[in-house]
Structure 1
Amino acid sequence: MSSPHLHDIERQVKQAPQLYHRLILVVGHHRTGKTTALRDLATKHGWPIVNLNLALAERLLDLTARQRTLRVARMLDDILAEQVGDVVLLDNIEMLFHPDLQQDPLRLLQSLSRNRTLVATWRGDYDGRSLIYASPDHPEYRRFDDPQARIISMPASDTPSGITSTATDNTA
């Protein structure tokens, strides 16, 4: 892992307490270093890292589809409450996009980031204006214009620059 990845995320984390939504999204496609960056940050700073798919799935197992829809936000809040510290790293957030849960993943993450800094991986794209999850033909496809979060774009590993960072937060 090259230091620019970590440095850019660390800089955003330091600035986050001044923001309305303390949400930092590390955006990129599969195998662009998102999870590695979070693991390195967890090791370096002692910040907790949560596999959100696993933690949420364990809590949703015994619920009906209707109960899952109604309780998922509270369950996420409980998962975060179990973490120590002011910064929490979230990896594997794909379950939030499942159509059966009927959630707005970005709004959910924003609301959870009001009282602590969240750094979450996001498998998709950011074009400088819109945050995209999945491809348009996929049932989990979502497009968020003006995402009101700090965005760190991690291009494919074959891109010479390695990382581009775009900080977007219109709430500050």
Structure 2
Amino acid sequence: MSRSLASQIQDVLPKTSDTYYKLILTVGPARAGKTAAISELAATHKWPRVNVNLSLAERLLALTHRQRAVRAAGILDDIVSAKNSSVVLLDNIELLFATELAQDPLKLLQSLSRNRTIVAAWPGDFEGANLTYAAPGHPEARRYLTPQAVIVKAGEADRPDNGLPREETK
């Protein structure tokens, strides 16, 4: 019998307790079950769930184009910190990849996970040791070799990745 994605995420949570970054990325394409798993964890454990696209966009609207790029990371940190929880679930993170915000999404998520566990739904793929977002050549495309995060692949019923933190290069 296959384990649910929410169960797989919950199973790897202890692996972040002694790591520099307490980051779990649930990786998979659209409609792979990432949002359902995050919603289940939020309901079961009463952990806060943040729709990053909505929450961040609301706060960026009043800013100029230049201010958005400069302040996006700080605003997201404020949003997450305001949840006052040891575990925060992040969903719909596509805005972090927007070229006009000039952010490195993985580094941003890692910085958020220094003082709390972050579980983020990563809309991309993880194959071998490569974490990707968007197709090569796409303006928002990202590729990280062995990212320093615990990876749980959505849509894989057998088991998550070994859960070892990974070093990143770009």
Q: 1:40 Cα shift?
A: 0.4
Kindly report which structure 2 residues correspond to 1:37-56, keeping only aligned pairs within 5 A, or say none: 37-56=37-56
Q: Is the 8 A contact 2:25 2:120 kept in 1?
A: yes
- The answer to whether the aligner puts 1:165 opposite 2:160 as a matched pair is yes
Q: 1:163 Cα shift?
A: 5.0
2:57 is matched with 57
Q: 1:170 Cα shift?
A: 3.9
TM-score (norm: length of structure 1): 0.91
1:122 is matched with 122
Q: Deviations over 1:54-84 (max 9, x none)?
A: 0000110011111111101110110011103
Give 3-state SS (helix, strand or coil) of 2:160's partner: strand
Identity %: 50
1:82 is matched with 82
Q: AA paired with 1:94? A: E
Q: Is the 8 A contact 1:124 1:134 kept in 2?
A: yes
1:158 is matched with none
Gaps of 5+ in 2: none
For the residues of structure 1 that align with 2:133 and 2:19, how far apart are their CA atoms?
24
For the residues of structure 1 that align with 2:136 and 2:159, how far apart are their CA atoms?
24
1:135 is matched with 135
Q: Is the 8 A contact 2:133 2:142 kept in 1?
A: yes
For the residues of structure 1 that align with 2:140 and 2:166, how far apart are their CA atoms?
26
TM-score (norm: length of structure 2): 0.92
- Root-mean-square deviation over aligned CA pairs: 1.4
For the residues of structure 1 that align with 2:82 and 2:57, how far apart are their CA atoms?
16
Q: 1:15 Cα shift?
A: 2.5
Q: AA paired with 2:19? A: L
Between Structure 1 and Structure 2, how many residues are aligned? 165
Q: AA paired with 1:73? A: A
Q: Which moved more, 1:146-155 or 1:35-44?
A: 146-155
1:12 is matched with 12
Give 3-state SS (helix, strand or coil) of 1:118's partner: strand
Structure 1 stretches (4+) deviating beyond 3 angstroms?
none
2:96 is matched with 96
Q: Is the 8 A contact 1:154 1:163 kept in 2?
A: no
Q: Is the 8 A contact 2:15 2:164 kept in 1?
A: no
Gaps of 5+ in 1: 156-160
**Shift in CA distance, 170/31, structure 1 to aligned 2, threshold 3 Å:** closer
Q: Is the 8 A contact 2:152 2:160 kept in 1?
A: yes
